[in-house]
Structure 1
Amino acid sequence: MRLLCADDEPDLRTILDLALRLDPRIEAEIFPAGDALLERARATGADAILLDAMMPGMDGLETCRRLKADPATAAIPVIFLTARAQEADEAALRAAGALASLPKPFDPLTLAGDLLRVLGR
């Protein structure tokens, strides 16, 4: 599965990379910002996208909205990683087009499995 990820925190990008490499079914490419991910998704597609909800510049919500507004990327499932698990926040993520959200902090040993479960794989 080809997965594109975006998170602005360098340490978290490293942890994401290590956590996702634990599952050989996942080929992840990780970006420091939503705009870079959006450009790659438009150019090459993806099987799924994992976004940090809160990033400087184009945040995860805006990245998701733009992905869903573009016919080339609209069908790609988007999952958020977020420390904000309030019901209102979850509603905003769904309204932007997200399939689901996973909590931050996450367990690096179970992240890949959690992600695949949410995607129904």
Structure 2
Amino acid sequence: MSKRVLIIDDEQGIRETTQVCLEITGDWEVFTASSGKEGLVVAASSQPDVILLDVMMPDMDGLTTLKKIQSNPEIQHIPVVFLTAKAQPAEQRQFSQLNLAALITKPYDPFTLSDQLTEIILRRVHKT
């Protein structure tokens, strides 16, 4: 199964580390974007199987980016996973209302990330 992921994160180190982990541990084809605005363009052109989206970004944060993804018919079918350091119970309750595929907290385990994303894609396939 060919697996494609888009990483949207303003931190270059996070993008690069996550990309390398996914390419090595899961043979993913990885696309990256450094902002929500760029991520929307890349998502439409690359049509990834899943989007890893940082919550805290300047200009357009993850919540705004998620709303734009969910309102765009070209990309609204792509499952979105928040990748965030915001893991307080109140924030997790807020995120649970957003129709996310999953929430992964930073720091994450790079050796299990590929399996987590694969499971999300398979769950989505079995729902349809």
TM above 0.5, yes or no, is yes
Residue 116 of structure 1: how far off its partner (Å): 1.6
| Aligned alpha-carbon RMSD (Å) | 1.6
Name the structure 1 match of 2:4: 2
Cα deviation, 1:43-94, whole Å, max 9, x if unaligned, reads 3322111101111111111111100001111111000111111233223334
SS state at 1:119 partner: helix
- Give distance in 1, aligned partners of 2:72 and 2:51: 14
Cα deviation, 1:90-118, whole Å, max 9, x if unaligned, reads 23334333111111001222211122223
- Give distance in 1, aligned partners of 2:4 and 2:115: 15
TM-score normalised by length of structure 1:
0.89
Q: 5+ residue gaps in structure 2?
A: 124-128
Where do 1:1-121 residues align within 5 Å? 1-22=3-24, 23-24=26-27, 26-120=28-122
TM-score normalised by length of structure 2:
0.84
Q: 5+ residue gaps in structure 1?
A: none
Identity across aligned pairs (percent)? Answer: 37
State how many pairs are aligned.
120
